[in-house]
A and B are shown apart, each in its own frame.
Chain A
Amino acid sequence: MAKKKTEQKKWPEKWHEVTPGCMVFEPGNAANYKTGSWKAQRPVLDTKKCIKCGMCYIFCPEACIQEDAEGFFQADLGYCKGCGICAHECWPGAIAMVEEEE
């Protein structure tokens, strides 16, 4: 997950503001871009069924599923693209993919 989300202009406005060689000195600042708007479905966790195995955490291509304070693995909807892998791989079937209403 992103460590620190820094405020950043989308890109440098003037030509002399471009870093030499377009080098980027903030590792992981792609986290400023929230891919959560991409999803058509979102994962919903049934904590009664969740066995806290971490399968969803390991298989999420976005690396957006994290363990919460109670040990349940929840997806960060700010980044979740709604691919459905977690729901598909969850073998107690604790995750359901629900249509995003918009």
Chain B
Amino acid sequence: MGKRIGMEVGIAAAEAVALCNIDVAAVYPITPQSHIAEHMADIIHDGRIDAEFITVESEHSSISACAGASATGARVYTATSSQGLMLMHEILPIVSAMRLPVVMGNANRAVSGPLNIWNDHTDIMPQRDSGWICLFTENGQEVIDLSIMAFKIAEDPEVMLPTVVNIDGFQLTHMIEPLEFPTQAQVNKFLPDRKPFATLHPDNPMTMGCFNMPDVFTETMKAKDTALRNSKKTIVKVFNEWGKQFGRKYNVVETYKAKDAETLILTMGSMGETASIAVDELRKAGKKVGLVKLRLWRPFPVDELRAAIKGCKTLIVMDRAISFGGAGGPVATEIKSLLFHDKGRPRIVDFLMGLGGRDVTVEDFIAMVERAKKKKDETYEYYGVRE
């Protein structure tokens, strides 16, 4: 076990990325990601790592610059949040289509309007069709570990896909936690230099970014989708490798007291910790409640989810985003759709909660479990909204 130090998680994210021997970082500041950007600048300006820090003039340019740099074979990093991520939206599917292994830290924050700088998942959900690998972190240690693993996953020759690591804005980015950093030597061993599939260099000229006529576009789309689906194998492999080297084992779907649970709560991100305390209290009161935490959002780990919820009667999905006028929160909608044909699938209850940074306490989780029992209609519900 290494030494544990107290550090703000946003700063720790920058420190973890610095361990990864990145070549280029192009970051545009936005609350609550700004500490990541600022600390990245500190590290580079102090010469602690040898990298180019591009002070781009917008997030659209930061992701574009990352694409250009990644195409030359450089290891690149960017970070953003909310409106910044929405501004990148146009380019995200292009980066994944071009198979460029850009790694991005996303400080989850509500999307305007109206403007709200606090935490929810409405920024990452609109990007779910973009073809990026999408991971969620629950605490500061996971931020460090997953940020480093993200490079290994993205750059794997079987994958070659950009990866986003979600960190709840303020709720996680601004928390000071006791954290353990791997040493530089350990990271060097885990994450060797990037070996790009193709690079932009006159020694080997090639063309990136062709356009597709209708005759070949469908095939290209299937190829990209298949690459993303297959990346789960590598993600699991990398998680196992990390577990072996550092003793912290990650799973694409985490469970807590779920084995004999009749009711399961499903969370993503930092609220998993609060939910687990609620589960403990409910268990003490004799209720058979458990917790499922989705770490991997894209590609969606449906097999692992099925295994985790086996035998449960009710699955309460905690959605922190909305699809206005639609079927409900994106996570519940996705799960309902995937399990539609499964015999013996659980009843799925969809709560929209924690929007725009509204605090969700242990009591709230307990109340939602109660509410799920009483709820008669199966439409989604805004937990705690003042009617």
Contacts and interface: CB of A to CB of B under 8 A. Distances in A.
A17 B219 CA distance: 9
A46 B227 CA distance: 58
A11 B215 contact: yes
Given A15-B222, A27-B206, A20 B197 contact: yes
B206 A24 contact: yes
A21 interface: yes
B98 interface: yes
B206 A23 contact: yes
Interface in B196-238: 197-198, 205-210, 212-213, 215-216, 218-220, 222-223, 226-227
Which among A17, A22, A27 has the greatest number of chain B C-beta atoms within 10 A? A22
A96 to B, nearest CB: 37
A23 B227 contact: no
B227 A12 contact: no
Interface residues on B, range: 20 to 34
B298 interface: no
A22 B219 contact: no
Given A20-B99, A20-B160, A20-B197, A25 B206 contact: yes
Contacts of B215: 11
Interface string A1-40: 0000000000110111110111111010000000000000
B206 A21 contact: no
A70 to B, nearest CB: 33
A17 B216 CA distance: 11
B207 A24 contact: yes
Contacts of A16: 223, 226
B219 A23 contact: no
B97 interface: yes
Contacts of B212: 22
A102 to B, nearest CB: 26
A18 B220 contact: yes
Given A20-B197, A25-B198, A11 B208 contact: no
Contact of B219 (A15, A20, A21, A25): A15
Given A20-B197, A21-B208, A27-B207, A14 B98 contact: no
Contacts of B210: 22-24
A70 B222 CA distance: 53
Contacts of B206: 23-25, 27
A15 B226 CA distance: 10
A22 B97 CA distance: 8
Interface in B84-141: 97-100
Contacts of A14: 219
B207 A18 contact: no
Interface string B18-36: 0000000000000000000
Which among B213, B216, B227 has the greatest number of chain A C-beta atoms within 10 A? B216
A27 B100 CA distance: 20
Contacts of A22: 97-98, 209-210, 212, 220
A12 B99 CA distance: 18
A28 to B, nearest CB: 9
B226 to A, nearest CB: 8
Contact of A11 (B100, B209, B216, B226): B216
A24 B206 CA distance: 6
A27 B208 CA distance: 11
A11 B198 CA distance: 20
A25 B219 CA distance: 19
Contacts of B220: 15, 18, 22
A18 B98 CA distance: 12
Given A15-B222, A27-B206, A27-B207, A21 B97 contact: yes
A18 B223 contact: yes
A72 B127 CA distance: 59
Interface in B131-176: 160
Closest 4 CB pairs of A and B: A15-B219, A21-B99, A21-B98, A15-B222
Given A11-B216, A24-B210, 12 more contacts: A11-B213, A11-B215, A15-B222, A15-B223, A16-B223, A18-B216, A18-B219, A23-B210, A24-B207, A25-B206, A27-B205, A27-B207
6 contacts: A20-B223, A21-B160, A21-B209, A22-B97, A22-B98, A24-B207
Interface of A: 11-12, 14-18, 20-25, 27
